[in-house]
Amino acid sequence: MSNSNSSSTETITANLLRLAGYGLLLLALANFGEALVPPRFGQDPVWELSTLTKFSGSSPVPIIGMVLIFYGESTARSSFGKTVIKVLSWLSLLLGVIYIVMLLIGISAAIRINNDNNNQASSVATQQLAQFNTAKENLKNTDDSNLKKAAEFIERQSPNIKLNKENPAELRTQLAAEIAKNENELKTRLADQKARAFRQLVKQSGKSYFEALVSAIVFISIWNQTKWTRSVVKKRKKKGTKSGAASLSDIASAPTLETEETNPETEE
């Protein structure tokens, strides 16, 4: 009685764990579908990297679901359930391959994002540096009266700047120094923004790459460790052949009619 009760309890526990595993797997597949629809592969590198991040971040859910489903191996499973876990075993291999493909797509996406950031930073730098070049040319070509008006305007915009408006030559030198100072500050700011964007990209993509690689290894390992789901049919065939061989040997060892007939003669 105790053995039957314990086996019944183990069966109930296994069924509950498997039910939870199926639920987690369905939730994970729903999240994957939401992340992939609508697909924009080859069109939007930001979307590609974001999709890899979603896939990698939610990978523990299907992994745990798979482990729970395979709990107990073939114990207390129907023939349909054994077919399902065989399909899920191959599905784990498919998921491992998908994570490897997504990893390669994420690497390509990060490279394209970095190139786009560099091109955008270069475009902004070109436009703003062109304004400084125009200001330098205007400073060389403007007369003293317009130069004084420009100095008064600059002082109103930036009260901290003090210019000598009474000496045109010194004023030109001061304005040229301010233009050069602002130009250098712009270059430094753009360089800092470019470096910050690159660090953020490396941080985000590196984390996603690591998670995708680990997920791929785990899923492929699950496929490798669930060979028993793919060899159930073969085992049954082998068992059938063994039982057939045993029955033939029994028949061969059974007494025949001739031996039964010879017994009376021996008695005589």
**Helix residue ranges, H only, 37-143:** 45-57, 60-69, 79-141
pLDDT computed for residue 153 by the predictor: 67
Contact 151, 163 (CB under 8 A): yes
Helix, strand, coil content of the chain in percent (nearest 5): 85, 0, 15
pLDDT computed for residue 158 by the predictor: 67
Q: What are phi and psi of 115, to 5 degrees?
A: -65, -40
Tell me the domain boundaries of the chain: 2-230
Contact 264, 114 (CB under 8 A): no
Contact 155, 161 (CB under 8 A): yes
Cα end-to-end distance, the chain, whole Å:
58
Q: What is the spatial distance between Cα 151 and Cα 165, in angstroms, rounded to a whole number?
A: 7
3-state secondary structure of 142: coil
Q: What are phi and psi of 254, to 5 degrees?
A: -70, 150
Nearest to 99 by CA among 39, 58, 66: 58
3-state secondary structure of 74: coil
Distance of CA 223 to the CA centre of its chain: 19
Tens place of pLDDT per residue across the chain (268 aa)? 555 666 678 888 888 999 999 999 999 999 888 888 888 888 889 999 999 999 898 999 999 999 999 988 877 788 888 899 999 999 999 999 999 999 999 999 999 999 998 898 888 888 888 887 887 777 777 777 777 777 776 766 666 776 766 777 777 787 788 888 888 888 898 889 889 999 999 998 999 999 999 999 999 999 999 998 888 444 444 444 444 444 434 433 444 444 444 444 444 3
Considering Cα of 63, then 65, then 66, then 70, what sign does the dihedral take?
Answer: positive
pLDDT computed for residue 252 by the predictor: 39
